[in-house]
C-alpha cells in the first residue's frame, strides 16, 4: 500500500480527527483498512488508515479516542509499524493471527458506559458491523455508522479512479458474461433469491469479463452490480466505460449506470423482492438502503466459488503463462549471478531488473504485487518493502529472499525463491531444507474432495514443528486468473475458519509457501502455485492432489541433503527436470546456461 500524498503531519491529522469527533459527540472512532468494496488493497481514495496514521501495511485497524490512538496489526507488520508509527503518538498493538477483532475488545472495555463509537459504515462489512454492535451493546454503547469524518478533514483526499475499463478478451476467457450471469442467477434462485447484489471488485470483473486499473497490481475497477431476474446493472463512474463497450454489454442485458446511484437502485427494489447478499463482502451502510419490505438472504457470492474453480482453458493458459514467467526469472537470475560482486546491486535494483525481465515477456500487463526483495535481516520481515531509506546492498554473505509476481492476460503469478550470497551456513541450510520439506510435503499430498483447506495447513508445518520452529502466516492463499493475487474463498491456514465454503475443489489455485524467519538474521520462504486436480475415485470416495504450476529452479546450494529422504529427493529432481524441459525452449545464451546449471540432479 502506497501512502497517499499529504503535507499534514500525523499528529495534526489525529488532532483534526479528534476535533471532528468532539463535534459529533463521539468517544472513539474506528478506521479499518478497507474500502466500500471490502478490498484488501483499496484505491488511494480509501487509504484512510494509512493517511491518518502513516502506517502503510495492507492490514491493520486504527482506533482513536480523546486520549488514545492505536493501530492493531499482526506479526507480518510489527517491524514496519514500529518504524512508521515512531513519534506519531499512535501506539502499536501487536495481535496474533487469530485476533482480527481484538480492537473490538478495546472499544468495549475503554469506551464509557452509554458512550458513542463512530465508524464509516461504508467500509464495514455486514458481519463486522454485527460483531461490533453486539460487543458494544453489552455496555449500552451506541454505534454510529453514518460518519465519514475523513471526508471533512482530508483536504487532499484523492477522487474516484478514472482509468478506463477494458475487456478481458478471447482467447483468454472460457465463458461469456451471459453464461456467467445465467449461472449466478440459477444459484441465486436455488437460495430463494431473485435479485443479487455484488460489491467485491474481483467478482464484478470476473462476472462481466472486464478488467481495469483502479487498484495497484489488481486489474479491477471500482463498481457495484445489481443482478435482477432478466437484466443486470453495472454501477461505475461516468466516462470509464466506452460507448462501444456499453453497446457490447447491452447486447448481454447489462445496463451501465452511475456509480453514485447504486444505493438508489437498492432502495427501489420492488415489493416482495428477495435479495441475495454476501454479508462478509457487502458494506453495511449500503445495505441499509434496501427497503424493509425486501427479504435479505445471506450467503457467499455464487461468483466467488465459480471463479475460484478455473476451467480447463484457463488452466491451459496459466501453464503457458508460467513458462513465460519462469523464463523471465531465469533471465533475471542469470544476470544476478554474473553481476554479483561486479556491479552495485541493491534490493531496489532487484525489483527494477526483475520487473524489466517480466515486462519483456509476451502477455505481461503489470506486476501482481509490490516486489519483496529482502537481504538477510530484511528477509525476516514477511511483508518487507525496500525503500530509499532501507535499501540494502547485496554484498558479503547471506540469504536473499525474493517474493514477486506478474499479471498476464493468461493468468496471475506469485513465486518466492531464496538464493545464497556467498556460502550459506549450516544453520541457514538447515532452515532452508526444513522449509523445502514442508513445501514438498503439501505439494505431494493427496486428500479427500471437499476437505476444508485450513485442515491441510498442518501437512506443510509438520516438518518444521518436528524441529521446533513455526511461522506466523498462512501456508497458502487462492490466486485469481488475471485477477487478485489473493483470492478466496479457500485459505490453507489454521488461523482461518474451516467452514464449508473453504473446501478445495478441482480447478482451484493456491500458493504453498511455508517459511522460517529469524529476526535480525534471515528469512526463508519457498513458494509455488499449485492447482487442484482429481487423483482417484474408489469405495472411499474421491481424492484430489496438487499439480505444481510454478516453473523456476529451487536453489540446491542452500539444501542440506542429509535432511531429505529418497522420495523428497526424487520429487525435487523430477520437478527440476520438468522445469528444464518447459523453460529451455523460451531461453538462449546465459539464461539457458543458468537454467541448465540450476536444474541438475541433487
What is residue 327's predicted lDDT score, i.e. its pLDDT? 98
What is residue 559's predicted lDDT score, i.e. its pLDDT? 98
Answer whether residue 101 shows pLDDT above 80. Answer: no
Helix-strand-coil split of the chain, %, nearest 5: 40, 25, 40
Tell me the pTM: 0.94
Q: Which residues in the chain are classed under CATH 3.40.350.10?
A: 10-153, 166-307
Where on the phi/psi map is residue 436: left (φ > 0), alpha (ψ -120 to 50), or beta?
A: alpha
pLDDT digits (tens, 9 = 90+) for 53-91: 999 988 899 999 999 999 999 887 888 889 899 999 999
Q: Does domain 10-153 have CATH number 3.40.350.10?
A: yes
Answer whether residue 6 shows pLDDT above 80. Answer: no
Counting residues of the chain whose pLDDT is more than 70, the rounded percentage is 98
Answer whether residue 98 shows pLDDT above 70. Answer: no
What is residue 443's predicted lDDT score, i.e. its pLDDT? 98
pLDDT digits (tens, 9 = 90+) for 499-522: 999 999 999 999 999 999 999 999
Q: Which residues in the chain are classed under CATH 3.90.230.10?
A: 309-593
Answer whether residue 528 shows pLDDT above 70. Answer: yes
pLDDT digits (tens, 9 = 90+) for 109-125: 999 999 999 999 999 99
pLDDT digits (tens, 9 = 90+) for 369-393: 999 999 999 999 998 989 998 999 9
For range 411-436, the mean pLDDT = 98
What is the average pLDDT score of the chain?
95
What is residue 19's predicted lDDT score, i.e. its pLDDT? 97
The partner residues of 296 in beta bridges, in order of sequence, read 275
DSSP string, 165-186: PEE--TTS-SS-HHHHHHHHHH
Confidence of residue 423 (pLDDT cuts 50, 70, 90): very high
Q: Is the peptide bond before 489 cis (omega within 30 degrees of 0)?
A: yes
For range 462-472, the mean pLDDT = 97
**Dihedral sign computed on CA atoms, order 421, 426, 428, 432:** positive
Residue 13 phi, psi (nearest 5): -60, -45
Residue 304: exposure state from Cβ atoms within 10 A (0-12, 13-18, ≥19): buried
What is residue 141's predicted lDDT score, i.e. its pLDDT? 97
DSSP string, 85-148: HTTTTPEEEE--TT-TTHHHHHHHHHSPTT-EEEEBGGGSBHHHHHHHHHHHHTTT-EEE-B--
What is residue 102's predicted lDDT score, i.e. its pLDDT? 86
For range 297-309, the mean pLDDT = 97
pLDDT digits (tens, 9 = 90+) for 157-178: 999 999 999 999 999 999 999 9
pLDDT digits (tens, 9 = 90+) for 536-552: 999 999 999 999 999 99
Q: Where does 309-593 sit in CATH, by number?
A: 3.90.230.10
Confidence of residue 1 (pLDDT cuts 50, 70, 90): low
CATH fold for the domain made of 166-307: Creatine Amidinohydrolase; Chain A, domain 1 (3.40.350)
Amino acid at each position: 500500500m502506497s501512502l497517499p500524498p499529504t503535507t499534514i503531519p500525523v499528529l495534526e491529522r489525529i488532532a483534526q480527527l479528534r476535533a471532528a469527533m468532539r463535534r459529533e459527540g463521539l468517544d472513539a472512532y474506528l478506521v479499518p483498512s478497507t474500502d466500500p468494496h471490502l478490498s484488501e488493497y483499496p484505491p488511494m481514495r480509501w487509504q484512510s488508515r494509512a493517511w491518518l496514521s502513516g502506517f502503510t501495511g495492507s492490514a491493520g485497524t486504527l482506533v482513536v479516542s480523546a486520549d488514545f490512538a492505536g493501530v492493531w496489526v499482526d506479526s507480518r507488520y510489527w517491524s514496519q509499524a514500529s518504524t512508521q508509527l515512531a513519534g506519531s503518538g499512535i501506539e502499536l498493538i501487536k495481535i496474533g493471527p487469530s485476533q482480527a477483532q481484538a480492537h473490538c475488545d478495546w472499544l468495549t472495555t475503554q469506551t464509557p458506559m452509554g458512550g458513542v463509537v463512530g465508524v464509516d459504515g461504508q467500509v464495514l462489512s455486514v458481519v463486522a458491523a454485527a460483531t461490533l454492535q453486539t460487543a458494544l451493546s453489552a455496555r449500552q454503547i451506541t454505534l454510529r455508522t453514518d460518519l465519514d469524518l475523513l471526508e471533512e478533514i482530508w483536504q487532499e483526499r484523492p477522487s474516484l479512479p478514472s482509468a478506463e475499463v477494458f475487456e478481458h478478451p478471447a482467447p483468454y476467457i472460457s465463458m461469456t458474461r451471459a453464461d456467467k450471469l445465467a449461472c449466478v442467477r440459477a444459484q441465486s434462485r436455488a437460495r430463494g433469491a431473485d435479485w443479487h447484489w455484488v460489491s467485491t471488485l474481483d467478482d464484478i470483473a470476473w462476472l462481466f469479463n472486464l478488467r481495469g486499473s483502479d487498484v495497484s497490481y489488481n486489474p479491477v475497477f471500482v463498481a457495484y452490480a445489481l443482478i435482477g431476474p432478466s437484466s443486470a446493472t453495472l454501477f461505475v463512474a461516468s466516462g470509464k466505460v466506452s460507448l462501444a463497450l456499453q453497446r457490447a454489454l447491452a447486447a448481454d442485458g447489462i445496463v451501465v449506470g452511475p456509480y453514485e446511484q447504486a444505493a438508489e437502485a437498492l432502495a427501489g427494489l420492488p415489493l416482495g423482492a428477495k435479495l441475495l447478499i454476501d454479508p462478509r463482502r457487502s458494506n453495511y451502510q449500503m445495505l441499509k438502503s434496501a427497503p424493509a419490505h425486501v427479504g435479505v438472504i445471506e450467503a457467499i457470492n455464487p461468483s466467488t466459488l465459480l471463479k475460484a474453480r478455473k476451467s480447463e482453458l484457463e488452466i491451459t493458459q496459466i501453464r503457458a503463462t508460467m513458462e513465460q514467467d519462469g523464463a523471465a526469472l531465469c533471465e533475471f537470475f542469470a544476470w544476478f549471478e554474473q553481476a554479483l560482486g561486479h556491479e552495485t546491486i541493491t534490493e531496489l535494483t532487484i525489483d527494477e531488473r526483475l520487473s524489466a525481465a517480466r515486462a519483456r515477456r509476451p502477455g505481461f500487463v503489470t506486476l501482481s504485487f509490490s516486489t519483496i526483495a529482502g537481504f538477510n535481516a530484511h528477509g525476516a520481515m514477511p511483508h518487507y518493502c525496500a525503500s530509499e531509506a532501507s535499501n540494502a546492498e547485496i554484498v558479503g554473505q547471506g540469504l536473499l529472499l525474493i517474493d514477486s509476481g506478474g499479471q498476464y492476460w493468461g493468468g496471475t503469478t506469485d513465486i518466492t525463491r531464496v538464493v545464497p550470497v556467498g556460502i550459506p551456513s549450516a544453520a541457514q541450510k538447515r532452515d532452508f531444507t526444513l522449509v523445502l520439506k514442508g513445501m514438498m510435503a503439501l505439494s505431494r499430498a493427496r486428500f479427500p474432495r471437499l476437505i476444508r483447506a485450513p485442515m491441510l495447513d498442518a501437512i506443510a508445518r509438520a516438518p518444521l514443528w518436528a524441529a521446533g520452529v513455526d511461522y506466523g502466516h498462512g501456508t497458502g492463499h487462492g490466486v485469481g486468473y488475471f485477477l487478485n493475487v489473493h483470492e478466496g474463498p479457500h485459505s490453507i491456514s489454521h488461523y482461518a475458519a474451516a467452514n464449508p465454503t473453504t473446501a478445495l475443489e478441482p480447478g482451484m489455485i493456491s500458493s504453498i509457501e511455508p517459511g522460517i524467519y529469524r529476526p535480525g538474521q534471515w528469512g526463508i520462504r519457498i513458494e509455488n502455485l499449485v492447482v487442484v486436480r482429481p487423483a482417484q475415485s474408489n469405495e472411499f470416495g474421491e481424492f484430489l492432489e496438487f499439480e505444481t504450476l510454478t516453473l523456476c529452479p529451487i536453489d540446491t546450494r542452500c539444501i542440506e541433503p542429509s535432511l531429505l529422504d529418497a522420495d523428497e529427493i526424487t520429487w525435487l529432481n523430477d520437478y527440476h527436470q520438468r522445469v528444464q524441459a518447459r523453460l529451455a525452449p523460451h531461453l538462449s545464451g546465459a539464461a539457458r546456461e543458468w537454467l541448465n546449471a540450476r536444474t541438475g540432479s541433487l
